[in-house]
Amino acid sequence: MTRSEIILSLSATVLFCGCGGAPGPASASGSAAQVPPSTTQTPTPPTLGNWQFNATSTVPGKPPLTFAGSVGRAGTAVTSALHVDGSNCFDRLTTISFTSTVTGNSTSLTSATIDGQVVTFTGNFSGYAFNGTYKINGGCDAGDQGTLTGVNVWNIGNNLSGTFTDSAQRTFNVVGKIAESDSASSDGSFGITGTTTFNTPCFSAGTIQPGTYPSGSFILGTSVALEAETSNGLLTFLGTLNQDGSGGLKGNYTVSGGDCDESGTADLQVAGAWDY
């Protein structure tokens, strides 16, 4: 899967064909013997790269959770480095590693123990999507379980544009070129680099420096952070990609370290954004 010069994820399509052969042995009635079809299925491997999993609990009072980060492979095993958001029982800054087991056509991802808690995903990958269930054993969140859906968040594209609006409703625009790393850092995030041009008298251009969660410029699931170093301060943006695949990116920004310190909201667009 290619969006631009950056590739976040890989997919494979396998084509099976049936070939004719010699007829099987005849049964006593003279008709060809019927061979039962095989019930063994091989799970579809996940598309590698940046993923977000949304968990909906079936336990009353439990909040929805988000698991975001990278999905990769170690040999034939699926591995993940994810962060949990939405729970007081997990620190979002903690990277949780997962490894897989495969049974029939089902894949299970089991986490390392985090504060006595073990998280298990069970379900089916289908290229860019995952459908299944989750369960948490032990520790603070013991007994939480429910449904789980996942989506591979594609390359966020090369072209950045949009509008920043400060607290006094003054606006300025940005256009730029960005690039996302095709390799995840150890914490599951993917660094972003690029250059930007602004139409504000405070600064005219900026350089986006790559980072790893939670600092610098990166993408983790649908969360995007951008830090643009300008001649008159640092512009920091933190936002979320729309989950409709439109490339919309909304969030908040601050400018600090120069003569035009301010804060506000931003409505951005990344061309060629993720899809599934």
The pLDDT value given to residue 38: 40
- Of the listed ranges 76-80, 112-116, 239-243, the one predicted with least confidence: 76-80
* Mean pLDDT taken over the chain: 85
**In the chain, pLDDT over 90 holds for what percent of residues?**
70
Beta strands in 43-189 (DSSP E): 49-57, 65-74, 77-85, 96-103, 106-111, 118-126, 129-137, 145-152, 159-166, 171-180
Domains 49-152 and 159-270 share a fold: yes
Q: Which long-range contacts (CB under 8 A, 24 or more apart) does 19-22 make?
A: none
Average pLDDT in the 131-142 region?
97
Four-residue CA torsion sign, 210, 264, 222, 61: positive
pLDDT at res. 8: 34
- The residues near 215 (Cβ < 8 Å, ≥ 6 apart) are 225, 227
User: Strand 223-230 relative to strand 77-85: parallel, antiparallel, unpaired?
Assistant: unpaired
Range of lowest pLDDT (67-81, 86-100, 199-213): 67-81
* pLDDT of 43: 57
CATH of 159-270, one of 2.40.128, 2.30.30, 1.10.287, 3.30.420: 2.40.128
Strand partners, 179: 193
Residue with the bigger pLDDT between 127 and 50: it is 50
pLDDT at position 106 is: 85
Check pLDDT > 50 for residue 18: no
Q: What is the arithmetic mean of pLDDT over 17-24?
A: 38
Counting residues of the chain whose pLDDT is more than 70, the rounded percentage is 82
Q: How many residues are listed for the chain in this entry?
A: 276
Domain boundaries of the chain, sorted by first residue:
49-152, 159-270
pLDDT tens string 21-67: 333 433 344 433 343 444 445 556 677 899 999 999 999 999 999 99
pLDDT for residue 34? 40
Integer-rounded Cα Rg, in Å, for the chain is 23
Structure letter (DSSP) for residue 211: -
Position 155 pLDDT exceeds 90: no
In three state form, how does the secondary structure of 41-77 look? CCCCCECCEEEEEEEEECCCCCCCEEEEEEEEEECCE
Report the pLDDT value the prediction gives residue 28, as an integer from 0 to 100: 40
Q: Considering the entire predicted model, what is its pTM?
A: 0.81
In tens, the pLDDT along 252-263 reads 999 999 999 999
Task: Check residue 103 and give its pLDDT.
Answer: 74
**pLDDT tens-place string over residues 160-204:** 999 999 999 999 999 999 999 999 999 999 999 999 999 999 999
Question: What per-residue confidence (pLDDT) applies to 45?
Answer: 67
DSSP code of residue 23? P
Output the six-digit token pair for 214: 């939670």
CATH (one of 3.40.50.10090, 3.30.70.380, 3.60.15.10, 2.40.128.120) for 49-152: 2.40.128.120
Q: Could you tell me which of 229, 71, 248 has the C-alpha nearest to residue 160?
A: 248
Q: 154 falls in which pLDDT band (50, 70, 90)?
A: confident
